[in-house]
Structure 1
Amino acid sequence: MDTVKQIKTEDSSSSNPSDPYSSHVPIKLSHHGRYGPSELGNQIHAEKQAGKSRSLEKLHAAIREQNALDVAHILNHRIVTLRDKITINGNTALHVAVGTANNNRDFLGNMLDLAKKHNQPSLDMRNSEGSTLLHVAAIVGNTEAAKILVERNKDLLYEKDNEGQTPVNRALSNMHTDTFIYLLDHYLDTLDVEKGDLFDSSEIIVNAISSNDYESAYKMRELIRDPDTVLTAIAQNFPPNVNFFERAIMSLFSHVPIVTLQFVKAAQRKAKAYSDAIRLLCFTWDHITTSTTYNNAIFEATRQNTVEVVKEIVSQFPNAIWSINEYGHNIIQHAVINRSEKVYNLLYQMSEHKNIYRTIKDPVNNNLLHLAARLAPDNKLNPILGAALKIQRELQWFKEVESFVCPLNTIQKNSFGETPQMVFTKEHKNLLIEGEKWMKETAQSYTITATLITTIMFAAAITVPGGSKQDNGIPVFANISLFTIFAISDVISFFTSVASLLMFLSIVTDSFTEQNFLVRLPTKLIIGLFELVWNLISATYGRSMFGKKSKDPFY
């Protein structure tokens, strides 16, 4: 026991309070009363690791708070370094600093200077994902950090992470436009033939187009190496032009410095995106040389109803109008199948080719009307609410193409022995069943509403407000003008409710043939809804006339 006390006293007296690894180490003896070297070494190592973990946590917190003094104090103890991993994904202290110190140029600069002071190379550090400091700056959009890093080492622009992405790619994929443009400008300044091989320009331009960032895509126009891919991406993501209303808004408020008008800004951004897309489209043509280059693009543009791209291709290569896809269809046939009305309308701008399309057939003898009879793609039908209205839209398209083709085409059969009408019936069989169900359920729901309103209005019609005079039965309020208004509105509401009820009942009892979905059934539904809304307005406004204390008609 005296031996144990002596050892503990010596250990306590020899510990240095300033050394985090020399204190709080409990000394254990072996069962023979002597030191256990392996046990003692393991405990000392564990204590050192615990002390280092605490220091890393403090360093992490100091960096997130951007406290340069605390960071310097922790590093001066030389327990941890700036190259140590402090997050689970292998980020070092500098990775965290780049990711958190947005717009704090001085803090990151001080961190890099500290790394240099402690002889700890920092710019080449990577995390477990292979990201350099510049990758992190690009991912979080820290433009100021990117400027510092590029100024110190431009080679970071060409480093790739584990997924083969450069910082420029990362900035664009995360839609940090300012950071991307800065990195791109410096990338282009130092670009040469060898380094150009490290950069997949087509992929990054396509990424920009897919993100509708045509401003960035246009800045990269000189990097176009695969015009077919770029042109196809433009066709898939071509932005819409401003409509008449948006154009009028911009012309009225373009010189008014009102920052709160967000709809004006939205219209301006829309117009800018369209303008940049047109410029990029025109520039891409300088790299188009063969039909194989534009073939994919023109059919994708037709599918997306991007008439601007189709017009540009046909204007540069007139024979593109006869391009054939893998199914043996040209662009007009492709437009009919995909319900691309803008491209289809190009037919009416043709002169010599128009008559050819009236009788043209595909490899299985389908004329244009056969193709129009097919069920539309989901992306065209899904935006239309209600199966009945979808059938109406399909019938309208079928009738439009029918008015264009030769009358003989309506009875011609394809290689399967089917006329266009037979194809339409077969393709739309399930949609017709859904349309009938939707129309009946809708009409029945409104029938219940109309019945309730009719009952209420009938009771109101036979109940005179204020009662009648006992001697002659004339209403008490007969000489008041509001009573006349009430009577008229009551009559209107009653008759419109009855009319809407009858209209909805006629829908339920009607025949649900294909042709009835074109005009008859939708018209009945619209008339019934209009009458129902009108009787609600008449009933509400008429009954509110009595008991008013104000002459304001909207009181």
Structure 2
Amino acid sequence: MSSSDSIALSVVGDVYTTTGAYKRSICMAAASGNWAVASSFDKTHPNWTYASLNAKGDTALHIAVALGNTRFVEKLVKRTTNIEHLEILNTDGNTAFCIAAISGNIKIAKILFGKNPVLLRIRGQDEMLPIQLASLVGQLHMVKFLFDKTGEELLINLPFEDKVKLFFLTFTCNIYTRALGLLKEYPRLATSKNEKGLTALEALAESTFNKHATGYRDFLRLFFNALEEEDTQVLQSEKAKEAMFSAAKSGNFMVLDYLFNYNPNLFLEVNSQGENLLQIAISNRQTSVFRLIFHKGAYRNILALHVDSKGNNILHLAGKLAAEGRFGSPINQFIIHSEELWFQEVEKIVPPIYKTMKNEESMTPKDVFYKEHLELSEKAIIEVNGIANNYLFVEALMITLEMSAFLTIRTNDTSGKHPLFKEKIWYMIFLLSVEIGVSLCAVSMNCFTSVIVPSSWSPSTNYINSRLARMTFGVLFALAGFATFGIFGSISGVILIYSFVPNWVICVSVAWCGFTFAMFYVFLYRTLYVSARLTLALCRQYGATVLAKLGYEISWEPFFLD
């Protein structure tokens, strides 16, 4: 069992294992948040607010905090006159504030801190500060809250070992503004090591890069300046090389960029498995690292020539299926299309002879790609066919609805007045929306019909993205058709049919139609986003092919589905 698991379990232990009827009653009251029952012991047992209630030494405050009973905690803290009662430790060595930090309950932490700020520096389980306990169990919001409450006085009085722990916490939790402040005050933190023996550079390289975190660039700039001033050899050492490979694996391209600026020779290093930087980026599908190497010109060409001990060049590695979980849980056709785009991008930078090179298993890169992705492609084809059938059914209903509406709308007097426009203009809007909606749905149906035509996938057919391309265009045309008739057709139809009702009723109906379709697209945001990206990638691919046949060479930035 890990230390984080044991700490978490200690918070939610058996609070009812106690002796004495009144102690059991208070335990149950604190656990359920029943203040009336607990306060009824004021006369008979006035010390119940700070008495040890069970074998773990928990007080009522410990129990209420562990189970998140905020109102109970608030009332208990309010009536506590001796703030030292808030500093009581249970047998695990935790104060109630430590338990609040572990559970991530910021509201309770604010209540306790407001009453007794000293709680911030009282160590808990395993001699760790509350902020360290919160970080250990992954309560990042609590970590940020506690850092905001950590004053300069506390930092000055902390042993350097604890400053190191706080420094590592700041950048691993993406709190770069505080990491920047610590580094300005204590530059030698740049060369410090954590309890696992990792240097700050190695830990930073392994950390997940958050491009939206504020202060990251400033922190990196100061970090590498401090690193060079404190130890001029560290950026030339084996530690720097290991950090480079860790950064490539985690996708931390900004750390890589700084490393290259300080020591360009790192580009050509290989790890213990004989893999160079480009191979690691391709195997782990780190597109940001690939883009960085893509713009390094001569270095990129040298790295692309490397062949590993099993005879695989970088295109063989690109042909292997990405690690499970790399894409989260999207639908299979998006995964395989992204894999195909990735394979094609890598194919652009390898020499022509590498495209047909065989590894020790006598397989070319395309053979590897086909073998690795065969099962995924079969699932994707089944998925695509199912989606196409569903869309065909929905579009058939939509066209039927549109034609029925077109045939039933009255066409007598067109001189009446309606909101915003004259009736004649509303007729034109309605007819155009029907015409455009039906046309778009018809085009979409053609796309989906071509998708469900039986086909096979094999190495000789190169890629299968034409099937996904047709489905993607079909989805976009279908959604455009639904939007056109759903919004403009519905609004104009309501106005034309119910012209006898007051204008405010029509306005409410129109607003409701708009809201309904707005929500429809809000919920489909991710689908639309992915479809738009795939469409752009396909257009670029086909555009480049056409221009190449006309004698024009054009190259776009590598474009992937991350």
Q: Aligned equivalents of 2:469 and 2:30: distance in 1?
A: 69
Partner of 1:295: 241
Deviation at residue 166 of structure 1 after TM alignment: 3.9
Q: Aligned equivalents of 2:428 and 2:131: distance in 1?
A: 75
Q: Aligned equivalents of 1:136 and 1:460: distance in 2?
A: 63
State the AA in 1 paired with 2:466: R
Of 375, 385, 390, the residue aligned with 1:440 is 385
Of 341, 353, 366, the residue aligned with 2:312 is 366
Partner of 2:522: none
Of 225, 233, 246, the residue aligned with 2:203 is 233
Deviation at residue 214 of structure 1 after TM alignment: 2.9
State the AA in 1 paired with 2:352: P
Question: What is the CA RMSD across the aligned residues, in angstroms?
Answer: 4.7
Of 511, 522, 530, the residue aligned with 2:468 is 522
State the AA in 2 paired with 1:234: L
Deviation at residue 530 of structure 1 after TM alignment: 3.4
What percentage of residue pairs aligned between the two structures are identical?
A: 22
Partner of 2:10: none
Partner of 2:214: 271
State the AA in 2 paired with 1:130: G
Partner of 1:431: 376
Q: Is the 8 A contact 1:91 1:127 kept in 2?
A: yes
Deviations 1:487-518 (A, max 9, x none): 54444444433333222111101524365865
Cα distance change, pair 414–108 in 1 and its aligned pair in 2 (3 A): same
Q: Aligned equivalents of 2:425 and 2:43: distance in 1?
A: 89
Partner of 1:130: 93
User: Do residues 211 (structure 1) and 173 (structure 2) align?
Assistant: yes
Cα distance change, pair 379–442 in 1 and its aligned pair in 2 (3 A): same
Deviations 1:96-153 (A, max 9, x none): 89998779999766354xx9xxxxxx97x63121235885686664435554579xxx
Deviates more, 1:287-296 or 1:455-464: 455-464
Aligned counterparts, 1:45-444, within 5 A: 84-87=51-54, 89-92=56-59, 110-112=82-84, 126-131=89-94, 135=98, 141=109, 142-144=112-114, 147-148=117-118, 161=125, 163-167=126-130, 169-170=132-133, 173=136, 175-177=142-144, 179-180=146-147, 185-186=152-153, 188-191=155-158, 199=162, 203-221=165-183, 222=186, 223=189, 225-226=192-193, 228-242=198-212, 270-272=213-215, 275-276=218-219, 279-280=222-223, 283-284=226-227, 286=230, 288=234, 291-382=237-328, 385-444=330-389
State the AA in 1 paired with 2:450: S
Cα distance change, pair 466–103 in 1 and its aligned pair in 2 (3 A): closer
State the AA in 2 paired with 1:170: L
Q: Aligned equivalents of 1:83 and 1:453: distance in 2?
A: 69
Partner of 1:45: none
Q: Aligned equivalents of 1:520 and 1:464: distance in 2?
A: 41
Partner of 2:451: 507
Q: TM-score scaled to structure 2, two decimals?
A: 0.64
Q: Aligned equivalents of 1:459 and 1:439: distance in 2?
A: 30
Q: Is the 8 A contact 1:232 1:296 kept in 2?
A: yes
Cα distance change, pair 231–184 in 1 and its aligned pair in 2 (3 A): farther
Partner of 1:118: none
Q: Aligned equivalents of 1:452 and 1:94: distance in 2?
A: 62
Deviation at residue 363 of structure 1 after TM alignment: 1.8
Deviation at residue 310 of structure 1 after TM alignment: 0.6
Matched position secondary structure for 2:496:
coil
Q: Aligned equivalents of 1:531 and 1:204: distance in 2?
A: 53
Q: Aligned equivalents of 2:117 and 2:481: distance in 1?
A: 68
Q: Is the 8 A contact 1:381 1:390 kept in 2?
A: yes
Q: Is the 8 A contact 1:217 1:280 kept in 2?
A: no
Q: Aligned equivalents of 2:442 and 2:411: distance in 1?
A: 26
Deviation at residue 418 of structure 1 after TM alignment: 1.1
State the AA in 2 paired with 1:126: L
Q: Aligned equivalents of 1:370 and 1:95: distance in 2?
A: 57
Cα distance change, pair 337–88 in 1 and its aligned pair in 2 (3 A): same
Q: Aligned equivalents of 2:430 and 2:78: distance in 1?
A: 76
Deviation at residue 426 of structure 1 after TM alignment: 0.8
Matched position secondary structure for 2:452:
helix
Matched position secondary structure for 1:378:
coil
Cα distance change, pair 294–104 in 1 and its aligned pair in 2 (3 A): farther
Deviation at residue 335 of structure 1 after TM alignment: 0.8
State the AA in 2 paired with 1:415: E
Cα distance change, pair 456–282 in 1 and its aligned pair in 2 (3 A): same
Q: Aligned equivalents of 1:430 and 1:186: distance in 2?
A: 60
Q: Aligned equivalents of 2:409 and 2:148: distance in 1?
A: 76
Q: Aligned equivalents of 1:56 and 1:378: distance in 2?
A: 49
Q: Is the 8 A contact 1:202 1:229 kept in 2?
A: no
Task: Look at both structures and tell me which one has the larger radius of gyration over its CA atoms.
Answer: 1
Cα distance change, pair 71–529 in 1 and its aligned pair in 2 (3 A): closer
State the AA in 2 paired with 1:323: E
Q: Is the 8 A contact 1:172 1:208 kept in 2?
A: no
Q: Aligned equivalents of 1:172 and 1:539: distance in 2?
A: 52
Deviations 1:336-376 (A, max 9, x none): 11222221123343243233123221222211111111112
Deviations 1:34-88 (A, max 9, x none): xxxxxxxxxxxxxxx969859988x999xx98xxx9999889x9xx699841356
Matched position secondary structure for 2:271:
coil
- Count of residue pairs brought into register by the alignment: 442
Cα distance change, pair 170–549 in 1 and its aligned pair in 2 (3 A): same
Deviation at residue 444 of structure 1 after TM alignment: 0.6
Deviation at residue 410 of structure 1 after TM alignment: 0.5
Deviation at residue 206 of structure 1 after TM alignment: 3.6
Q: Aligned equivalents of 2:479 and 2:26: distance in 1?
A: 69
Cα distance change, pair 53–418 in 1 and its aligned pair in 2 (3 A): closer
Deviates more, 1:543-552 or 1:488-497: 543-552
Deviation at residue 520 of structure 1 after TM alignment: 2.0
Deviation at residue 215 of structure 1 after TM alignment: 3.6
Partner of 1:547: 497
State the AA in 2 paired with 1:271: T
Segments of structure 2 that go 5 or more residues without pairing to the other structure are 1-18, 67-71, 103-107, 414-422, 511-562
Q: Aligned equivalents of 1:145 and 1:168: distance in 2?
A: 18
Q: Is the 8 A contact 1:503 1:524 kept in 2?
A: yes
Cα distance change, pair 226–446 in 1 and its aligned pair in 2 (3 A): same
Q: Is the 8 A contact 2:113 2:119 kept in 1?
A: no
Cα distance change, pair 136–353 in 1 and its aligned pair in 2 (3 A): closer
Partner of 2:530: none
Q: TM-score scaled to structure 1, two decimals?
A: 0.65
